[in-house]
Amino acid sequence: MSDNDDESSGGIITCSAEFSKDLDQFSELFEGAKKREAARFAMAIGIQKGLREKRSDWKKPKNQKISTIAHLSGQFDDKGRFDFDSLFDILDLKNKDDDTPIHHLISEYVTGGMRYIEENELKNLDEWSRMKDDFPHLFTQED
């Protein structure tokens, strides 16, 4: 199956080959569909931090392949439970002049999020305290 699958069926969510091994390692922190859950987490970071990495800019390290995560329809969207197209519209992340398919747009934010995870050494839970500075709204203040 190629990542240029029929738009009506959703397409394949991927991540740059640059982070293929990192995504595999990071996904071990999650349960269930580990890679899919890790990618959704990375996507959320990418969205929150505005870290979209266009597919045309992805690095292609030698002997590494683009990481295939899941098919958008039924897998990444959890059997239609999540409407990423509407989410990206609501968050104004879809440029009206840009006809990037939603599965590519998601993949670009997954890759941006993985760059943040890698640069901040979060893939091993080594530096999770760094997230407190960048995402203070995720942490409660102790009185």
Strands 12-15 and 67-71: antiparallel
Task: Write down the pTM of the prediction.
Answer: 0.85
Q: Rounded CA gap, 17 and 137, in Å?
A: 31
Residue pair 45/38 in contact (Cβ under 8 Å)? The answer is no
Q: Rounded CA gap, 40 and 56, in Å?
A: 21
Tens place of pLDDT for every residue, the chain, 143 residues?
344 444 445 799 999 999 999 999 999 988 878 899 999 999 999 999 999 999 999 998 988 899 999 999 888 887 778 888 889 989 989 877 778 899 999 999 999 999 999 998 887 666 677 777 777 777 766 64
| Burial class (CB within 10 angstroms; exposed 0-12, middle 13-18, buried 19+) of 49 | middle
Residue pair 69/35 in contact (Cβ under 8 Å)? The answer is yes
